[in-house]
Amino acid sequence: MFARLVYESFRRQTRRKLLAAIAITLGVGVATAMLAVATGIGDKISRELRTYGANILITPQDDTLDLQIGGVDLKPPSDGAYLNESDLPKIKGMFWRNNIVGFSPMLPVNVNAGSQQITLLGTYFAKSLTFGKEQFTTGVTKTHPWWKVQGAWPNDDSNDVLLGEKLATSLYKHPGQQIEINGTSRSISGVLSTGGAEDNQIVAPLHIAQAITGKPGAVRRIYVSAVTKPEDAFARRDPRSLNPADYDRWYCSPYAASIAFQLQEAIPHSHAEQIRQVAQNEGVVLSRIEGLMLLITLAALFASALAVSAAMAAAILERRVEVGLMKALGARKASVAALFFAESALLAVIGGLLGFAGGALLAHQIGQSIFASQITIQPVLLPIILGIAVLVTFAGSAVAIRRAVNLDPALTLRGEA
């Protein structure tokens, strides 16, 4: 009999039940898409943020501070320690090697260009390297993507150089011309614009700076761009204070600090640390995006609950005589409430399943259009979505059902309620 009443309710109020189901489907669909994106958005956004530059800096362990005034490195050429260029491919042998987007070594050296003393910065532009059987390309084109060149990037094996745009203006130099550096003529392949100290410097392949310093294979610092997990309280703990289980968890999490720690292990006599401003800004961006998605989800579910409430209120208003008759025949409040909650639960399951399917399509579209990659919904999310659908439907129906169970059968059957 109970099942017959539920069936007749859907048969006689198809339009209202359909409207309620559509409301649930839309709300749950948005919630599904947002949850799917939220669970897979961390790495994707982090990779997008890697286009804004390096987030880890490696320096020699016994290094002294750099001394620069007006973009000119005033440290004596023999001062400070150096890293070995031959150790750089070892970065691709560390545990989180697949999270390394790129790295670029730097070696500044003072040179004479014309009548001026200028800093020449040696680096990789797009250097091909090999570690084991793996071949990869790295350099400032990956770690400093905001660097813009008018002309052409030098080949890493060439003797061509770039001139910072301010330096090129002061020397009246253009791409294709020559510049004399320490008595040797070099071809200018392009003019570099960075918005930083490099605008007043010469940027050249690393081997040129090494030849000038007389230190083959020397590197002063290395900028690393790595995909990392936003920093939390656990990430900031000192690994030396952790027990073995916590240490393994910290070491195997892609925090900037743990990746920097592994970079120190990979490169002998080095010190690696995250560039705090970059890492913190990434965490802020991720937190705000996740917060925005949470607000969108809550707004969609709230709107769905309101729509369900309106639909259920109208449905119960139409069925008040039926409710009055049930109570006059001896039905208890619990029985009346169970009937309407059963209808709501059935609506929630139908709307939840349709919303899950629609949310999966929406999440896929978001992944393709924004991140150019696929967002996959895990099957374990289905019971969570169905639970959300049931909660939203019950929340929207509760007021109307309470009103129904409190109807006075005598007044209702006389048409006075």
pTM over 0.75: no
- What b/e sequence results for 233-253 when a residue is b if at least 16 CB atoms lie within 10 Å of its CB, and e otherwise? eebeeeeeeeeeeeeeebbeb
Q: How far is CA 63 from CA 120, 123, 258, 296, 398, in A?
A: 20, 19, 22, 49, 68
The better pLDDT of the pair 330, 339 is held by 339
Spatial separation of the C-alpha atoms in residues 158 and 309, rounded to whole Å: 72
CB atoms within 10 A of CB 330: 7
Per cent of the chain over pLDDT 70 is 79
| pLDDT of res. 64 | 47
Predicted confidence (pLDDT) at residue 404 exceeds the cutoff of 80: no
Residues 6+ apart with CB under 8 A from 24: 304, 308, 347, 348, 350, 351, 352, 355, 389, 392, 393
Cα 397-400-402 angle, rounded to 5 deg: 100
Write the secondary structure of 270-319 as one string of H (helix), E (strand) and C (coil).
EEEEECHHHHHHHHHHHHHHHHHHHHHHHHHHHHHHHHHHHHHHHHHHHC
Mean pLDDT to the nearest integer, 120-140: 92
Asked if residue 210 lies in contact with residue 86, where contact means CB atoms within 8 angstroms, the answer is no
Predicted confidence (pLDDT) at residue 140 exceeds the cutoff of 50: yes
Asked if residue 53 lies in contact with residue 278, where contact means CB atoms within 8 angstroms, the answer is yes
Query: If you count them, how many residues does the chain have?
Result: 417
Max mean pLDDT among 7-21, 137-151, 306-320 falls in 137-151
Predicted confidence (pLDDT) at residue 376 exceeds the cutoff of 80: no
**How are beta strands 116-123 and 202-205 bridged, if at all?**
parallel
Q: How far is CA 369 from CA 40, 47, 222, in A?
A: 15, 15, 34
The better pLDDT of the pair 230, 4 is held by 230
Per residue in 25-76, pLDDT (tens digit) is 888 888 888 878 776 665 566 555 555 568 899 999 876 445 454 444 445 4
Helix-helix angle 14-49:2-12, to 10 degrees: 80
